[in-house]
């Protein structure tokens, strides 16, 4: 069995955001396409966690949905254990091995179903167990695995707190016995006091069950706790990618540096910080050259005209002319 669980090569996803045909004909307006993911390339090895970070609208959640086959790529390829996601999703034996934990536990659980039915649904759908007693025993085991009581299976989702609902979501994701989980900002809708509990639970489950994670977040403190590898996204592109600790200790791309500057200084060092200035350009009409150049303090004429390709530098892949030309000092 290959060590690579998920692999993306030149992955792109566009959405047609044009106005209705008659309106476009009346105004002679061309079609408008939003390029949410633009030539993303990455791999995730078995048992590891790759985190994707960036500002809202950078394409992280679109990659999450591409990774489980909810969206089809517009261009490029994404494969699960060497098979295209579309082919893997068509095979029940492969499909059950990938699952997703959604961002909002209030919206991702059916309010009309009891918890026992929510958790048991993947078991029934994939035919993992047949008898009622066996399914009930498995549901109790899954609830205990995420820190809930067996009696909680008789309750409805509205009877739980946000952290408990996310535990139910994790139990449901684990019920199909997956190898690969996509975690789309699984703690962003929770209180800060609960986030650490959920993150520790996810790390414990990963070590115990040998899970592989694609972890989507905009919280760098959370990512540092969870990730082995890190990809920094900006306007649909991965601008810096490599080992998480390497990037946290010595970021190269100017955008990565500015993101890390936004982390609160708990040591109260008084160091002067430079916040990320300006606004994210529209992905419908991105700027020419490097998409980050309108906000980058190191941008020059080349940055405004030529889009940088990701190249290896200091153990990471970074798409930045300033880094490649040694202008970051």
What is the reported pLDDT for 145? Answer: 94
Instruction: State how many domains the chain has.
Output: 1
Q: Name the strands in the sheet holding 237-243, side by side, starting at the edge strand that comes first in the sequence.
A: 98-101, 180-184, 212-216, 49-53, 229-234, 237-243, 316-318, 311-313
Query: pLDDT tens-digit profile of 10-37?
Result: 999 999 998 888 888 888 888 899 999 9
Q: Is 108 part of any domain? A: no
What is the reported pLDDT for 272? Answer: 65
What is the reported pLDDT for 269? Answer: 59
Phi and psi torsions of 292, nearest 5°? -90, -5
What is the reported pLDDT for 292? Answer: 94
What residues are paired with 184 via a beta bridge? Answer: 216
First-to-final CA distance of the chain: 44
**The CATH number of the domain where 20 resides is what?**
3.40.50.300
Length of the chain: 329
What is the reported pLDDT for 167? Answer: 95
Residue among 30, 43, 34, 17 at smallest CA distance from 180: 43
DSSP for 198-224 reads: HHHHHHHHHHHHT-EEEEE-S-HHHHH
Q: Mind listing the pLDDT tens digit of every residue in the chain (329 residues)?
A: 569 999 999 999 999 998 888 888 888 888 899 999 999 999 999 999 999 999 888 999 999 999 998 899 999 999 999 899 887 777 888 889 999 998 888 888 999 999 999 999 999 999 999 899 999 999 999 999 999 999 999 999 999 998 999 999 999 999 999 999 999 998 887 888 888 899 999 999 999 999 999 999 988 888 988 999 999 999 999 999 999 999 999 999 999 998 888 776 656 556 666 666 777 888 888 899 999 999 998 999 999 999 999 999 988 999 999 999 988 86
What is the reported pLDDT for 328? Answer: 81
Residue among 178, 209, 226 at smallest CA distance from 80: 178
CA distance 323 to 302: 13
What is the reported pLDDT for 166? Answer: 93
What is the reported pLDDT for 2? Answer: 66
CA distance 19 to 297: 36
What is the reported pLDDT for 88? Answer: 73
Q: Is 38 part of any domain? A: yes
What is the reported pLDDT for 104? Answer: 86
Residue among 169, 208, 203, 310 at smallest CA distance from 253: 310
Which residue range is the domain that position 23 belongs to? 4-97+178-324
Q: Is 154 part of any domain? A: no
What is the reported pLDDT for 260? Answer: 85
Residue among 264, 329, 265, 262 at smallest CA distance from 298: 329
What is the reported pLDDT for 86? Answer: 82
Q: Is 159 part of any domain? A: no
What is the reported pLDDT for 103? Answer: 86
DSSP code, position 303? H
CA distance 55 to 44: 22
Q: Is 8 part of any domain? A: yes
Q: Is 138 part of any domain? A: no
Q: Is 84 part of any domain? A: yes
Q: Is 172 part of any domain? A: no
DSSP for 109-136 reads: S-TTS-HHHHHHHHHHHTTS--SHHHHH
């Amino acid at each position: 069995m290959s060590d690579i669980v998920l692999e993306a090569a030149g992955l792109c996803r566009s959405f047609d955001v044009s106005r209705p045909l008659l309106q476009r004909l009346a105004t002679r307006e061309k079609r408008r396409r939003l390029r949410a993911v633009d030539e993303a390339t990455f791999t995730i090895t078995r048992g590891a966690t790759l985190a994707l970070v960036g500002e809202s609208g950078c394409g992280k959640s679109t990659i999450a949905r591409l990774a489980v086959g909810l969206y089809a790529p517009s261009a490029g390829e994404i494969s699960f254990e060497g098979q295209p996601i579309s082919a893997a999703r068509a095979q029940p034996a492969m499909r059950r091995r990938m699952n997703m934990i959604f961002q909002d536990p209030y919206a991702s659980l059916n309010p009309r179903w009891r918890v026992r039915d929510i958790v048991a649904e993947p078991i029934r759908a994939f035919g993992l167990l047949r008898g009622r007693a066996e399914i009930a025993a498995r549901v109790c085991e899954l609830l205990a695995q995420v820190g809930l009581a067996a009696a909680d299976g008789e309750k409805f989702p509205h009877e739980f707190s946000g952290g408990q609902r996310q535990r139910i979501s994790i139990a449901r994701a684990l019920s199909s016995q997956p190898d690969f989980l996509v975690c789309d900002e699984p703690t962003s809708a929770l209180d800060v006091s609960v986030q650490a509990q959920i993150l520790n639970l996810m790390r414990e489950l990963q070590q115990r069950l040998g899970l592989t994670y694609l972890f989507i977040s905009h919280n760098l403190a959370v990512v540092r706790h969870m990730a082995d590898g890190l990809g920094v996204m900006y306007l649909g592109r991965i601008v810096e990618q490599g080992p998480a600790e390497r990037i946290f200790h010595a970021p190269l791309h100017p955008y990565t540096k500015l993101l890390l500057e936004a982390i609160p200084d708990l040591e109260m060092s008084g160091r002067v910080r430079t916040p990320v200035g300006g606004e994210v350009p529209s992905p419908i009409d991105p700027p020419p050259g490097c998409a980050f150049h309108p906000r980058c303090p190191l941008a020059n004429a080349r940055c405004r005209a030529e889009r940088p390709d990701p190249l290896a530098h200091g153990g990471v892949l970074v798409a930045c002319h300033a880094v490649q030309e040694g202008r970051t000092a």
